[in-house]
Chains A and B, each alone.
Chain A
Amino acid sequence: MKFNVRDLVYIAIFGALWGLLEITVGSYLHVLFPPLADTFLVGIIMGSLGILTSLVGRRFVPKAGAVFMMAVIAMLLKGLSLGGVTLGPMLAILIEGFLMELGLLAWHGKSPWAFAFAGALAVSWNFFHKFLMMRLLYGSGIVEVALKMAKDGARLLGMDPSAVALILGVLFIVRFVVGAAAGWVAWGIGHAVAGRRAQRYHAEDPAS
Chain B
Amino acid sequence: MTQAIARRRQDWHPDTWGYLAFLAWTLVLVAVLPPARLAWLLGSVLAFAGIWRRQALLLLTRRRTWITFGLILLLSGLTLGARDIGWGWFRLSSEGLTAGVFMLVRGVSILLAFSATIGALSVARLSAVFERLGLKGLGFAFGVAVNLSVTLQDIVLVTYHTLRQRGAFRLTRRLFSNLRLFLLGVFTNALRHGDEVVLAASARAFDPDRPADAPIPLTAGDIVLIVLLLAVLVLLLL
Do A and B interact?
yes
Measuring CB to CB, which residues of chain A are less than 8 angstroms from any residue of chain B? 2-17, 19-20, 31-32, 34, 52, 56, 60, 69, 72-73, 76-77, 79-87, 137, 189, 192-193, 196-197, 200
> Which residues of chain A come closer than 8 Å to B202, judged between CB atoms?
5
**Would you call A13 and B184 a contact (CB within 8 A)?**
no
Q: Which residue of A lies closest to B201 (CB)?
A: A5
Residue of A19, A83, A84, A189 touching B183 (CB-CB under 8 A): A189
Residue of A10, A76, A82 touching B107 (CB-CB under 8 A): A82
> Which residues of chain B come closer than 8 Å to A2, judged between CB atoms?
136, 209
Interface residues of B in 88-116 (CB under 8 A from A): 99, 102-104, 106-107, 110-111, 114
**Would you call B141 and A15 a contact (CB within 8 A)?**
yes
**Bound Cα distance A4, B206 (Å):** 10
> Which residues of chain A come closer than 8 Å to B209, judged between CB atoms?
2
Whether B180 is near chain A, meaning CB under 8 Å from some CB there, is yes
Whether B80 is near chain A, meaning CB under 8 Å from some CB there, is yes
**Would you call A193 and B31 a contact (CB within 8 A)?**
no
A-B contact count (CB 8 A): 141
> Which residues of chain A come closer than 8 Å to B142, judged between CB atoms?
12, 15, 72-73, 76
**Would you call B187 and A189 a contact (CB within 8 A)?**
yes
Once A84-B103, A87-B31, A137-B31 are accepted as A-B contacts, the answer to whether A20 and B149 lie under 8 Å apart by CB is yes
Measuring CB to CB, which residues of chain B are less than 8 angstroms from any residue of chain A? 27, 30-32, 68, 72, 75-76, 79-80, 99, 102-104, 106-107, 110-111, 114, 135-138, 140-146, 148-149, 152-153, 156, 180, 183-184, 186-188, 190-194, 197-198, 201-202, 206-209
For this complex, 20 residue pairs linking A to B, each with C-beta atoms less than 8 Å apart, are: A5-B198, A5-B208, A8-B141, A9-B144, A12-B143, A12-B148, A13-B148, A15-B142, A16-B152, A34-B80, A52-B183, A69-B135, A79-B114, A82-B68, A84-B102, A189-B180, A189-B187, A193-B184, A197-B191, A200-B192
Q: Which residue of B lies closest to A80 (CB)?
A: B114
Q: Which residue of A lies closest to B197 (CB)?
A: A9
**Would you call B145 and A196 a contact (CB within 8 A)?**
no
**Bound Cα distance A121, B10 (Å):** 49
Q: Which residue of A lies closest to B118 (CB)?
A: A80
**Would you call B79 and A32 a contact (CB within 8 A)?**
yes
**Bound Cα distance A17, B194 (Å):** 12
